[in-house]
Amino acid sequence: MRRYRLGVDTGGTFTDLCIFEEGSGNVVTTKVPSTPSNPALAVVNGIRRLIDKEGVSPEQLCFLIHGTTVATNALLEHKGAATALLTTEGFEDVLHIGRQNRPKLYDFRAARPAPIVSRSSRFGVPERILHTGEILRPLDKTKARRIVALIGERGIRSIAISLLHSYANPVHERELADLVAEALPGAHVTVSADVLPEFREYERTSTVCINAYVMPKVNDYVAHLERRMKDMGIASDLYIMQSNGGVITARTARRISARTVLSGPAGGALTGVFISRTIGRPNVVTIDMGGTSSDICLIEGGTPRLTTESEIGGYPIKLPMIDINTIGAGGGSIAYLDPGGALRVGPESAGADPGPVCYGRGGTEPTVTDANLVLGRLSPSGLLGGEMPLDLEAAARAMEEKIARPLGIDVIRAAEGILSVVHANMIRGIRRVSVERGHDPREFILVPFGGAGPMHGVDLARALNMKEIVVPPHPGISSAVGMLSADVRHDYVQTHIEGSREADAERIQSIFEEMEARGTEQLRQEGFSGPSVVLIRSADMRYVRQSYELPVPVTEGTLTEQSLAAITEDFHRLHKKAYGYARNSETVEFVNLRVVALGRLPEFRGAKRSARDPGAPKPAGSREVCFAGRPVKTPIYLRHRLPDGMVVHGPAIVEQMDSTIVVLPGYRAVSDPYGNLIIRASGEPEKGRP
């Protein structure tokens, strides 16, 4: 029986689906309109449409992974559950005090977002544990029961528990969780020792509260989708994409829902990893440009950078995530003139509804998509292969009224100005993940995707002197495709602050082994064993009195004094690489110990196309496209008709169902055996092909 994997990515406008046959490597994709009121409806509709189209029976779906925006939207739109926080008495205001950093250094009116748990719902419980794990004051269970009863009377059914120094000893958190379960059966309880047993009270408490805030919605959504899948007869369990680029089971996602807040963008980053591996280019910058924003990720040596210092909507969340820089530059970004008369683009977006003016859904403000249409980069016949018609005249009128006439220029110059401004924003975003972190973008290839990314990729690469642009076969559905290359992943962390010179190797070894045992058991329950289980150790380290740490790899095996000294030397080397200096005589200390437990899935690899005679390029038509203010009759190619090795010389437009690719004058594009479109300047030599 044929076996298929299915990736599903829910977005604001469309839900993207990708089905992969394990035997042949064939990939088929589709898009369906999203259903924001109940995202599961679009997922089910898309699955039915795709399996009907391909003649696949639900029993043949052996693996289904889903990237969801439910947690993200609940947090950004402040539509999560009413949440209570139980914390150590006297520390009820940790969320409000935070780190006292101002959002904007010179703006005295700048305000941080209000804590997601209101002051009236934060309760101090009499107890105290020291940083050593010693109990200074036992938990007052009588008062704790009264507080829990009060929470129940208020109708709150999601409770975060974050006690001082519980990472060193979680006994009081466990006792509190038992009290809540006894008094409020069915309540959602988040315990910091389960989510983040790590020091720094503000970030830990914020993360735990975020988890409690989004958990009920994620729970309901995942449970509903599981039921619908079962009703459809789908053989696979439901797996959820998490923010660190790994996969978790639906059961884990329902318990630690905060792991899914960057679910979709993480899938996009994995597309870059997959492209890097396929074409043999280890250094990649990806830019996923959708309707509202662009997600930018740097991949070095085939691996994306992870961070535990992220913010979502202004709220710190200290869980491992792929380091993605999101900027307000998308196809729907609105162009306007500021009070000084300067042209600005974004971050405000027309969104999916009403959308750009050319969508004909009531939008009145010109956007990046309208500018691309006016310049001829987009086909007037519409998007999605003509299923979504575009109104060129309406876009031109809006641009004339709002931009061109006030500036005293024509519509073409106005449209090109909009693209110049949005490109400048995107270039700054790329520099932020590359130049500002010690990376030269000229040593990386650019992989643009998303519905709008390939229209702007060559412009961005040219401005940054990047020599190669690689557009994936399905750029508008790349996040769903990338998810299929992920492995099951679980992250474990334990704070252990100790100077490296005095460190107890046996104690550190025992902490690693305890976390590895938990990871191995978790993966065993999920069906992984033997070589498919991979355990990766690392340690967060810093110089004494530093306020930040660097992750340092720790090799397998029994730790000794010699191996701890080698780890310390690695820290000095990594510190010099990251910051330009190292202080080898300074004392180094361990801060957090980490273990990543991976359950390796069969490798995802697209089918290599059989070689065909490339012949002469045959355009499907032509239209006038403006380049540098001058209309040029430009050939239009259909991507699915481009054979392997076929060279398309710019200027050219390559169209497909889910995106449009612009090849600028002076550039050439060639399709490789895996369906990637590789674009280089005409004077650049060919590199080795995969």
Cα 468 from Cα 470, distance rounded (Å): 7
Count Cβ atoms below 10 Å from residue 397 Cβ, excluding itself: 16
Give, for 670, the enclosing helix (H) or strand (E).
strand 667-671
Q: Give the residue among 404, 380, 378 at the shortest CA–CA distance from 390.
A: 380
Report whether pLDDT(614) > 60. Answer: no
- Supply 269's token pair: 């980053």
Cα 491 from Cα 493, distance rounded (Å): 7
Rounded to 5°, angle at Cα 157 from 152 and 161: 95
Count Cβ atoms below 10 Å from residue 2 Cβ, excluding itself: 11
Which residues neighbour 159 within 8 Å (Cβ) at sequence distance 6 or greater? 83, 84, 85, 86, 151, 180, 184, 187, 188, 189, 190, 212
Task: Tell me what pLDDT residue 82 has.
Answer: 95
Cα 391 from Cα 380, distance rounded (Å): 7
Mean pLDDT over residues 501-528, rounded? 94
pLDDT band for 690, please (50, 70, 90 cuts): very low
Percent of the chain with pLDDT over 90: 64
Which CA distances in Å does 568 have to 199, 287, 507, 589? 21, 35, 17, 9
pLDDT band for 685, please (50, 70, 90 cuts): low
Quick: pLDDT tens for 275-286. 998 889 999 999
Task: Tell me what pLDDT residue 284 has.
Answer: 96
Rounded to 5°, angle at Cα 375 from 368 and 422: 30
C-beta of residue 46 within 8 angstroms of C-beta of residue 17: yes
Quick: pLDDT tens for 151-171. 999 999 999 999 999 999 999
Give, for 564, the enclosing helix (H) or strand (E).
helix 561-579
All domains in the chain, ordered by first residue: 76-218 (no CATH), 266-486 (3.30.420.40), 488-599 (3.30.1490), 621-681 (no CATH)
Mean pLDDT over residues 180-208, rounded? 94
C-beta of residue 257 within 8 angstroms of C-beta of residue 218: yes
Report whether pLDDT(483) > 50. Answer: yes
What are the φ and ψ backbone dihedral angles of 195, each rounded to 5 degrees?
-90, -45
Cα 260 from Cα 242, distance rounded (Å): 5
